[in-house]
């Protein structure tokens, strides 16, 4: 997919911007009694650019929605996370995946969790869509979906039903369940993502109102159907499934996904 170098909202001039999995050290030292020094160490995360231009998903997801959703909401989560991290050196050095799991704290989330998870969720969501997306997956992804859901039609119906039955804000996911060694659909409330249960996410759909209101008002059904028909990236699903298969044996028949 093309780069988003024309993206006017990119935070490229931010002095602390780093790749989202590469927190960067910022040392601020203050002198104590001449030779003594205390070192404050802080990890900063950057706003990752969308993998396409902000108008690339039109007419199904408008540039205006991306400007608000990515340029304001996603940016706000990054800034909120960094504000938290400024106060807590203990959390330095984690990748974003690790930070999400650690701050979930076995179901008693630390204050950093919501922002950390929402940064991860949005990075993943943008890459779960592509211009010219939708339709059906191919090859191994399709075979695995048919194996685990009976048919693609059945999977599609279950995914849509899960999205529409989600109460309030949250997310719907296609994941690989490590223990069960199969694909499954899960829905999560607010910022929670399935990493905290050790699932491997394959596709996500943002069901927060800010994701669809400008384009679809309250018509969540239309938004979800458009996602399935025109936006979901089965290419991303294929590469994510390929990585998942390095960790999970999905059983027989062995289905190559890439
Ligand atoms: Fe969102």
Q: 186 alpha carbon to ligand 1 midpoint, in Å? A: 17
Q: What's the pLDDT at 42?
A: 54
Write out the chain's pLDDT in tens, 258 residues: 333 333 433 333 233 333 333 344 343 333 334 334 445 545 588 999 999 999 999 999 999 999 999 999 999 999 999 998 888 767 878 899 999 999 999 999 999 999 999 999 999 999 999 999 999 999 899 999 999 999 999 999 999 999 999 999 999 999 999 999 999 999 999 999 999 999 999 999 999 999 999 999 999 999 999 999 999 999 999 999 999 988 888 887 777 776
CA pair distance 57, 11, nearest whole angstrom = 21
Beta bridge partners of 203: 174
Separation between Cα atoms, residue 226 and residue 190, nearest integer Å: 22
| Distance from residue 211's CA to the centre of ligand 1 (Å) | 5
Burial profile 223-239: b = 16 or more Cβ within 10 angstroms, e = fewer: bbbbbbebbbbbbbbbe
> Separation of 143 CA from ligand 1 center, angstroms?
30
Pick from 125, 121, 154: which is nearest to 227 by CA?
Answer: 125
Rounded Cα gap, residues 167 and 155, in angstroms: 20
The pLDDT of residue 92: 79
* 44 Cα–ligand 1 center, Å: 21
pLDDT at residue number 258: 63
């Amino acid at each position: 997919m093309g780069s988003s170098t024309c993206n006017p909202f990119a935070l490229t001039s931010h002095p602390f911007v780093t790749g989202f999995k590469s927190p960067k050290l910022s040392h601020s030292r203050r002198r104590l009694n001449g030779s003594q020094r205390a070192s404050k160490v802080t990890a900063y995360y950057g706003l990752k650019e969308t993998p396409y231009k902000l108008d690339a998903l039109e007419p199904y997801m408008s540039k205006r929605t991306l400007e608000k959703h990515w340029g304001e909401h996603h940016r706000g989560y990054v800034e909120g996370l960094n504000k938290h991290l400024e106060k807590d050196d203990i959390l330095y050095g984690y990748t974003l995946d690790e930070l999400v799991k650690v701050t979930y704290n076995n179901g008693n989330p630390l204050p950093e969790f919501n922002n950390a998870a929402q940064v991860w969720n949005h990075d993943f969501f943008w890459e779960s869509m592509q211009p010219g997306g939708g339709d059906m997956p191919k090859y191994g992804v399709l075979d695995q979906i048919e194996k685990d859901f009976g048919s693609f039609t059945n999977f599609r119906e279950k995914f849509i039903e899960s999205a529409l039955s989600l109460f309030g804000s949250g997310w719907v996911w296609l994941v690989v369940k490590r223990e069960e060694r199969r694909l499954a659909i899960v829905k999560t409330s607010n910022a929670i993502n399935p990493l905290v249960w050790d699932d491997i996410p394959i596709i996500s759909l943002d069901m927060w109102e800010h994701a669809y209101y400008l384009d679809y008002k309250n018509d969540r059904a239309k938004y979800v159907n458009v996602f399935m028909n025109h936006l979901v990236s089965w290419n991303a699903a294929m590469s994510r499934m390929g990585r998942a298969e390095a960790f999970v044996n999905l059983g027989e028949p062995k289905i190559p996904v890439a």
